[in-house]
Amino acid sequence: MSSDDEVPQAPEPGTERSDRPTRRRAGANRRGSSAVARKRSGRAASRIAGAGPGEDTGAKALHPHRLRWGLLAVAVGAVVAALVTLSISGFRSSHGLEVHDPGSGKPPAGRADAAFGAAKSGDCLTWTSTKTLDLTKVNCADKHLFEVTADIDLSRYPGREFGPGSAFPDSLRFAELRDEQCAPAAAAYLGGRLDPRGRFVVGMVNPGEPGWRNGDRTIRCGLQLVSATGNATQQTVGRVRDSDQSRIFDAGTCIGINQNLPTNEPVPCGQPHAYEVMSTVDLGTHFTGGPPANPDQDKFMQDECARAANDYLGGQDALINKTLTIFWDNLDTRSWLVGSRKLNCLVGKGSQDGFATITGSAKGDVLIDGQAPVPPPSSGRSTPAPLPGAAPAPIPPQR
């Protein structure tokens, strides 16, 4: 994110998310020779609720639906953290643009000023430098960073707050304006079809402190593509209303881990991570009517992810031999109704505290919590129960 010249750089990804949702601790149970997550009740803590292994807490099995929503809370929490960062950190730039790298030095001039001043609803903007903010208007069919949903003149705001000679608003005030003005503008622009769990977020470009001193009180509201790090300056092609807003990752992407929870940040698979993306599934090819119920999604995704695991891992025994587990999320009704249809098939492993730490791609040799996995004996082998699916994934038949 950006800051004015006297504010330090934004923290590195993973260090700025003090508002992550409380997580549940998990115990362990056995299903055949594979671990199945369990829930423990216990003392509440500010960030971790539950008790450690060995304490008598009256443990009971963690139903997959509960774990599914636990994973969902982590994913949504990561996006919310990114949005909070956008709102609070993004508007401190004297240049008025939401970026991680703070602009320093002279304000943008010429082409940037012209592009900002002329931008209106439906226009798409891009830039090549976060320091000079050389804003240019481009065709929305081409790569761009910002789709304008509205231009709002704050001088028409009731009272004297934004009148002549008024002070440049601080970051918190701009965050409030973003919520008050830009969120409704995005809803109106898209006809209410913004996926609340999707990959696009509401953004804002303000006139910058130099422009404000010169009397410019117009803000540009818009939509931006959320990158995995929460930096909403990732290029996209096409208009949001014509895009599938599903928040998915490409196959082969590994998602980092921190305190046994996914960070929602891609990392090299050779680094410690929570899980790996095996494939993307389009639910629209199977469900052609209204929003499918979660159990129906689970049944379909279980079969799809079992096939994906067989193909991705290189054989039907790889999942068992590596003691890994397949899992997925669900599309909620709101996402479905705005057109989102895609989910990822994921591979990882549960642990007593949430997720085990995996090092290495699941396609090759892996370490789980620093140790090489020990394949179960030939007798009594079973496929690890899917997480958070409702039943173990079937083992593809021998050929």
Q: Of 205, 201, 3, give the one whose Cα is nearest residue 101.
A: 3
Based on the fold, state whether residues 193 and 113 are members of the same structural domain.
yes
Angular region, 237: left φ>0, alpha ψ -120 to 50, beta rest: beta
Number of domains in the chain: 2
pLDDT at 2: 36
User: What does the pLDDT look like over 307-348, one tens digit per residue?
Assistant: 999 999 998 899 999 999 999 999 999 999 999 999 999 999
pLDDT at 114: 74
pLDDT at 270: 97
For the segment 293-302, the average pLDDT, to the nearest whole number, is 96
In a domain, 194, yes or no: yes
Domain-ending residue, one of 186, 217, 244: 244
- Long-range contacts, 190-193 (Cβ 8 Å, 24+): 190/149, 190/240, 190/241, 190/338, 191/241, 192/338, 193/241, 193/337, 193/338, 193/339
Based on the fold, state whether residues 185 and 221 are members of the same structural domain.
yes
Tell me if residue 312 falls in helix, strand or coil: helix
Beta partners for residue 347, in sequence order: 276, 326
What residue type is 173 in one-letter code? R
Position with higher pLDDT, 227 vs 117: 117
Q: Please report which confidence band the pLDDT of residue 207 belongs to, taking 50, 70 and 90 as the band edges.
A: confident
Range of the domain at 349: 246-376
DSSP H or E segment with residue 256: strand 254-258
Based on the fold, state whether residues 131 and 216 are members of the same structural domain.
yes
Based on the fold, state whether residues 230 and 291 are members of the same structural domain.
no
pLDDT at 255: 93
pLDDT at 315: 85
Based on the fold, state whether residues 203 and 321 are members of the same structural domain.
no
Based on the fold, state whether residues 239 and 314 are members of the same structural domain.
no
Based on the fold, state whether residues 327 and 219 are members of the same structural domain.
no
Position with higher pLDDT, 244 vs 347: 347
Q: Please report which confidence band the pLDDT of residue 223 belongs to, taking 50, 70 and 90 as the band edges.
A: very high
Domain-ending residue, one of 177, 210, 244: 244
In a domain, 273, yes or no: yes
Based on the fold, state whether residues 238 and 321 are members of the same structural domain.
no
Based on the fold, state whether residues 224 and 259 are members of the same structural domain.
no
In a domain, 362, yes or no: yes
- Rounded to two decimals, the pTM is 0.60
What's the mean pLDDT when you consider all of the chain?
A: 72
pLDDT at 252: 96
d(CA 62, CA 8): 43
Of all residues in the chain, the percent with pLDDT exceeding 90 is 49
Tell me if residue 358 falls in helix, strand or coil: strand
What are the C-alpha distances in Å from 251 to residues 121, 187, 254, 255, 308?
A: 35, 31, 9, 11, 10
- For residues 342 and 246, the answer to whether their CB atoms sit within 8 Å is yes
In a domain, 330, yes or no: yes
Based on the fold, state whether residues 239 and 250 are members of the same structural domain.
no
Based on the fold, state whether residues 175 and 210 are members of the same structural domain.
yes
Based on the fold, state whether residues 240 and 333 are members of the same structural domain.
no
d(CA 76, CA 89): 19
Q: Please report which confidence band the pLDDT of residue 81 belongs to, taking 50, 70 and 90 as the band edges.
A: very low
d(CA 73, CA 130): 32
In a domain, 68, yes or no: no
Q: Of 256, 269, 277, give the one whose Cα is nearest residue 365.
A: 269
For the segment 343-368, the average pLDDT, to the nearest whole number, is 94
What residue type is 230 in one-letter code? G
Position with higher pLDDT, 75 vs 170: 170
d(CA 23, CA 260): 10
- For residues 125 and 115, the answer to whether their CB atoms sit within 8 Å is yes
d(CA 357, CA 7): 35
Q: Of 121, 244, 246, give the one whose Cα is nearest residue 182.
A: 121
Half-sphere exposure (CA, 13 Å, Cβ side) for 319? Answer: 31
User: What does the pLDDT look like over 100-153, one tens digit per residue?
Assistant: 223 333 333 333 467 777 889 999 998 887 666 678 899 999 999 999 999 999
d(CA 224, CA 200): 5
Candidate from 41-45, 154-158, 169-173, 257-261 with smallest mean pLDDT: 41-45
> What sign does the CA torsion over 67, 70, 76, 77 have?
negative
Q: Please report which confidence band the pLDDT of residue 154 belongs to, taking 50, 70 and 90 as the band edges.
A: very high
pLDDT at 77: 40
3-state DSSP: the chain helix, strand, coil percent, rounded to 5?
25, 25, 55
In a domain, 73, yes or no: no
Using only C-alpha atoms, the chain has a radius of gyration, in whole angstroms, of 24
Domain-ending residue, one of 244, 266, 291: 244
Is 48's pLDDT higher than 60?
A: no
In a domain, 392, yes or no: no
pLDDT at 383: 59
In a domain, 86, yes or no: no
- The H-assigned helical ranges of 105-245 are 111-118, 171-177, 183-189, 208-213
